[in-house]
Amino acid sequence: TSAQIGVTGLAVMGRNLARNFARNGYAVAVHNRTASRTRALLEEFGDEGEFIGAETAAEFVAALERPRRLVIMVKAGDPTDAVIEEFAPLLEDGDVIIDGGNAHFADTRRRERELRERGIHFVGTGISGGEEGALHGPSIMPGGSAESYASLGPLLEKISAKAADGAPCVTHVGPDGAGHFVKMVHNGIEYADMQLIAEAYQLLRDVAGYSPAQIAEVFRTWNTGRLDSYLIEITAEVLSHVDAATGKPFVDVVADQAEQKGTGRWTVQLALELGVPVSGIAEAVFARSLSGHTALREASRGLAGPTAQPLSGAEADAFADQVEQALYASKIVSYTQGFHEIAAGSAEYDWNIDLGAVAAIWRGGCIIRAAFLDRIRAAYDARPDLPSLLADETFATEIAEAQHDWRAVLGAAISQGVPTPGFAAALAYYDSLRADRLPAALTQGQRDYFGAHTYRRTDREGSFHTLWSEDRSEVQA
């Protein structure tokens, strides 16, 4: 027999992805650099479906039906190139290599180009959902050629998560690096979502005066409404967990230094290059890095500032309701910024990405999965050329209703000294976009003063310069 798909790299992700294919009725060839992992998979899970174990690259390739579909799930970076170099010489015209690792999209573009010249399709694929998702259905974001998707799509649709309406959480995102680009922005949005939730928690703790257990209940309630999402759900779980060793709330015994593996940073780096303001995502990345600066924090601990005076009773509960409004409004802004970055990447690299389809495949399987994404899908389906999510009438109306509470929450946070960089950045973005006039006019004046960088006028076409060090008359530049 021959296998319809192969997976090489059988650590947590690859092993579970291979099992997912097998459980869905596909014959799966499995391979790993260290053969003991392959044998362990066959021993433990061999009865879940049809596996063909391969000890060598040649055996692995020989086990695959043509055109071959070969999934690489190894450590991102140099190992991916090493594995490609090991297999590519054994492949034939029309075969498909799928990289499911967390590659940088620029690497994916390079690999796709190099392999295309050798007659091999390369499909850089974002996969979200972690270990559990890989096994039970992830959200899958494949790039690469349309031809490769024709051969690969049906298998991915089978193993992917399904949204509430039954639609598979996979779509052909676009050519070459489009899939990994979208996965990168997914992770950036994930950082922002997590930061906003963390700020909401801190406000409920310091300003509303709630305990972690009470806050867990608040999140459980929010999870039945418009904030319904995987991240809100697990937040309630983490907050209600009690540390067995000390009997204290788990959240109080964990070191408050957040780590990161780099995809949030990539999102911000790319946004800087594309000129897209993703201030909320950037603040989320910076908040994690600030938390890790222990010496800096130690040296700053004595700095002056107010101590939060917790509310109580009905006042505390009313404040909690306002925090829900602030969180929701800030979340809309994060997604607005993330989708703007996808639109900008799509324009820059000619990917022609369907933003509504991206929102649709994030409805299930991935870390940011949420009821909310169905509404983003609907907004883009109704108006594919929507310039910004904030221009959607439904979202604009919701923010209009939330903005009073959003401002009140930020007012309380600022006067009580509770840091809320994510909420604040989101509101500043909103107020900047809706402003009639921005102080950018003054910035232009300064640039012209010190560097003769010129400016445009509101009342006439052309570029102008003021002779600042002479008689301050204006000349056409």
Q: Tokens 């639609």 belong to which residue?
A: 167
Residue closer to ligand NDP by CB (options 72, 390) is 72
Distance of CA 274 to the CA centre of its chain: 17
424: Cα within 13 Å, side-chain hemisphere: 14
Q: Which residues pair with 71 in a beta bridge?
A: 7, 98
Check the annotation: does 126 bind a ligand.
no
Beta carbon of residue 301, minimum distance to ligand NDP (angstroms, whole number): 35
Residue closer to ligand NDP by CB (options 100, 249) is 100
Check the annotation: does 453 bind a ligand.
yes
Check the annotation: does 102 bind a ligand.
yes
Residue closer to ligand NDP by CB (options 71, 412) is 71
Check the annotation: does 74 bind a ligand.
yes
Is the peptide bond preceding residue 67 cis, with omega within 30 degrees of 0?
yes
Closest of 435, 432, 424 to residue 192, by C-alpha: 424
Annotation says 190 is catalytic: yes
Residue tagged active-site, from 44, 50, 65, 183: 183
Beta carbon of residue 61, minimum distance to ligand NDP (angstroms, whole number): 15
Query: Is 472 exposed, middle or buried (CB count within 10 Å of its CB: 0-12, 13-18, 19+)?
Result: exposed
Residue closer to ligand NDP by CB (options 3, 76) is 76
Check the annotation: does 158 bind a ligand.
no
Residue closer to ligand NDP by CB (options 128, 330) is 128
Report the distance separating Cα 241 and Cα 258, nearest Å: 19
Residue closer to ligand NDP by CB (options 141, 329) is 141
Residue tagged active-site, from 48, 92, 190, 283: 190
Q: How many CB atoms lie within 10 A of CB 373?
A: 21
Beta carbon of residue 43, minimum distance to ligand NDP (angstroms, whole number): 16
Check the annotation: does 10 bind a ligand.
yes
Check the annotation: does 73 bind a ligand.
no
Contact status, residue 137 vs residue 126, Cβ threshold 8 Å: no
Closest of 142, 26, 104, 445 to residue 270, by C-alpha: 104
* Helix ranges restricted to H, 350-465: 355-361, 372-382, 393-416, 421-434, 440-451
| Cα→Cα distances 438→95, 432, 441, Å | 54, 7, 7
Beta carbon of residue 263, minimum distance to ligand NDP (angstroms, whole number): 9
Classify the C-alpha dihedral 80-85-89-94 as positive or negative: positive
Residue closer to ligand NDP by CB (options 12, 347) is 12
Beta carbon of residue 10, minimum distance to ligand NDP (angstroms, whole number): 5
Beta carbon of residue 44, minimum distance to ligand NDP (angstroms, whole number): 15
Q: How many CB atoms lie within 10 A of CB 356?
A: 19
User: Which residue, judged by CB position, is nearest to ligand NDP in the bound state?
Assistant: 101
Check the annotation: does 130 bind a ligand.
yes
Report the distance separating Cα 131 and Cα 135, nearest Å: 7
Closest of 153, 159, 163 to residue 69, by C-alpha: 153
**Sites of contact with ligand NDP (CB under 6 A):** 9-14, 32-34, 37, 73-76, 79, 82-83, 101-102, 127, 130-131
Helix, strand, coil percentages in the chain from 3-state DSSP, rounded to 5: 55, 10, 35
Check the annotation: does 194 bind a ligand.
no
Beta carbon of residue 11, minimum distance to ligand NDP (angstroms, whole number): 3
Annotation says 341 is catalytic: no
* Helix ranges restricted to H, 249-312: 250-253, 263-274, 279-291, 294-300
State both tokens at 19: 């099992």
List, as residue ranges, the binding site: 9-14, 32-34, 74-76, 102, 128-130, 186-187, 191, 261, 288, 447, 453
List, as residue ranges, the binding site for NADP(+): 9-14, 32-34, 74-76, 102
Known catalytic residues are: 183, 190
List, as residue ranges, the binding site for substrate: 102, 128-130, 186-187, 191, 261, 288, 447, 453
